[in-house]
Amino acid sequence: MSFENIIVTAENGIGQITINRPAKLNALNVATIQELHDAFENLESNSDVRVIIITGEGEKAFVAGADISEFASFTIQEGAQLAAQGQELLFNFIENLRKPVIAAVNGFALGGGLELAMACHFRIASDNAKMGLPEVSLGVIPGYGGTQRLPQLIGKGRAMEMIMTAGMVSAEEGFRSGLVNHVVPQSELLDFTRGIASKIMRNSPFAIGRAIKCVNANFKDGVNGFETEIRNFGKCFGTEDFKEGTTAFLEKRKAEFSRK
Ligand code: COA
């Protein structure tokens, strides 16, 4: 599969997607959103890949937002459609993937860029990262899930302030508020992120996929997360992973999980 706006690699169990429009600070145009969807779909079905990392090319930006030049003259209907398609194709799609997706935030993550990072299962930032939802400064609001995921991650009051001021927070501030899990020097960002991916890869892919589903259930309308947990807990008992994990423990050896 060849792409114009992204670079995709798969090595040692880790799929990496790098958004590659550095001259535009990796801004998300519609073509890039489609390519990202295709790349995630592809890595999800690649049984050699267990964890996916997404980052931006260059040292300046993860993603500086949705591509403003594309939507500046949109109508009401076109605006709503842009948000709906983007949410379905990419942001909700990532959140609901069964494989863990980690955002390695290597610089500006603004607007759609922060929304992309927030759709991932968790975030690691380089020390130069700056994050914000500046949409109201453009006369619009976040449209790729930002008004929902930011309060989920940092609480309503802090999210309200960030959205209303259109301001940026530093990596350290993001760490303190729970927006990012770790802050590391930029030169170490990818190695550090791969290290966490390696820890994840020691565990049961089936169980991880179900755990993602259950955690997400807490944030879905009309879904009872506790019931989702009970159902999926039960499903684990029918898997080879469960057999291998418990047998390995009892035999005092490391589990070898092979299935997707
Ligand atoms: N959409 C389209 N193009 C963008 C972009 C975006 N969201 N963010 C940056 N770019 C482009 C700039 O237009 C510029 O292109 P040009 O060289 O062809 O003029 C290029 O990327 C470099 O950006 P520039 O603004 O010159 O860099 P800077 O270091 O001076 O400022 C930012 C960096 C991130 C502060 C600034 O680019 C910015 O505010 N971007 C928009 C952020 C935003 O509002 N995002 C939310 C969109 S909903």
Average pLDDT, the chain: 97
Q: Is 108 in the pocket of ligand 1 (CB under 6 A)?
A: yes
Please tell me if the CB atom of residue 110 comes closer than 6 angstroms to any atom of ligand 1.
Answer: yes
Range 6-200: architecture per CATH: Alpha-Beta Complex (3.90)
Q: Is the CB of 136 under 6 A from ligand 1?
A: no
Supply the pLDDT for residue 253.
Answer: 97
Residue 179: closest CA among 122, 128, 219: 122
Cα Rg of the chain, angstroms: 19
Which protein residue has the closest C-alpha to ligand 1 atom 45?
65
With cut-offs at 50, 70 and 90, classify the pLDDT of residue 258.
Answer: confident
Q: Is any ligand 1 atom within 6 A of the Cβ of residue 79?
A: no
With 60 as the cut, is the pLDDT of residue 101 above it?
yes
pLDDT score at 259: 53
Is 25's C-beta closer than 6 angstroms to any atom of ligand 1? yes
**What would the pLDDT profile of 12-26 be if each residue is shown by its tens digit?**
999 999 999 999 999
pLDDT in tens, 115-133: 999 999 999 999 999 999 9
Distances (CA, A) of 209 to 96, 181, 213, 232: 9, 20, 6, 10
| pLDDT of 260 higher than 60 | no
- The pLDDT of residue 153 is 98
| pLDDT tens digits for range 69-97 | 999 999 999 999 999 999 999 999 999 99
Which ligand 1 atom is at minimum distance from the Cα of 112?
48
Find out whether 208 and 255 touch, Cβ atoms under 8 Å: no
- The ligand 1 atom nearest the CA atom of 135: 48
Q: Whose C-alpha lies nearest to ligand 1, atom 21?
A: 24
Strands 6-11 and 108-110: unpaired
Q: Are 245 and 257 in contact (CB under 8 A)?
A: yes
State the distance from the centre of ligand 1 to the C-alpha of 91, rounded, in angstroms. 21
**What pLDDT, on a 0 to 100 scale, did the predictor assign at position 200?**
98
* Residue pLDDT, tens place only, 17-74: 999 999 999 999 999 999 999 999 999 999 999 999 999 999 999 999 999 999 999 9
Residue 65 beta carbon below 6 angstroms from any ligand 1 atom? yes
**Ligand 1 nearest atom to the CA of residue 133, by list position:** 46
Catalytic residue positions, numbered: 115, 135
What is the reported pLDDT for 126? 98
**Taking the CB of residue 128, how many other CB atoms lie within 10 A of it?**
17
Contact 118, 154 (CB under 8 A): no
Q: How far is the CA of 114 from the centre of ligand 1 (A)?
A: 14
- Interval between CA 20 and ligand 1 midpoint (Å): 15
Average pLDDT over residues 245-253: 97
Structure confidence by residue, pLDDT tens digits, 193-229? 999 999 999 999 999 999 999 999 999 999 999 999 9
115 and 144 Cβ atoms separated by less than 8 Å = yes
Q: Quick one: pLDDT at residue 151? A: 98
pLDDT of amino acid 1: 79
Q: Residue 201: which residues within 8 A CB-CB, separation 6 or more?
A: 13, 14, 50, 51
